[in-house]
Amino acid sequence: MELFRIIAGTVLIVLGLFIFGVATLGLFRFRYVLNRVHVAAKCDSLAVMLICFGLMFFSASIGTILKLLLVIILVWLANPVANHLICKVEVETNEHLEDECEVEGRP
């Protein structure tokens, strides 16, 4: 049983780090800020969840597991809101937005 915990925790942490790497590559690959924010929002939320679940397998106390669950909940609540606000500012302030992408409902 101990071997299963170590393998499962390690796999989840490595998978989370891989997704962080893919997100970093996406930040450099895409040229437009809305695409970059989309990649960062999706990948960061998933990677944090996987890494926290992996750390839960290594944790021995229920208090630490609950704290990691709280981190997951906070990231899943705050990350979409922050990224939405960044995109909203970009849509409202970029004068050449129509040259690069289609935006519906722009004032």
Q: How far is CA 83 from the centre of its chain?
A: 10
Cα–Cα distance measured from residue 55 to residue 92, given in angstroms and rounded to the nearest whole number = 40
- Name the pTM for this structure: 0.82
Q: How far apart are the first and last CA of the chain?
A: 59
Cα–Cα distance measured from residue 18 to residue 16, given in angstroms and rounded to the nearest whole number = 5
**Residue 100 DSSP code:** H
Digits of tens for pLDDT over the chain (107 positions)? Answer: 889 999 999 999 999 999 999 999 888 888 888 888 888 888 889 999 999 999 999 998 999 999 999 999 999 999 989 998 988 888 888 877 777 777 666 55
Cβ contact 12:53 at 8 Å = yes
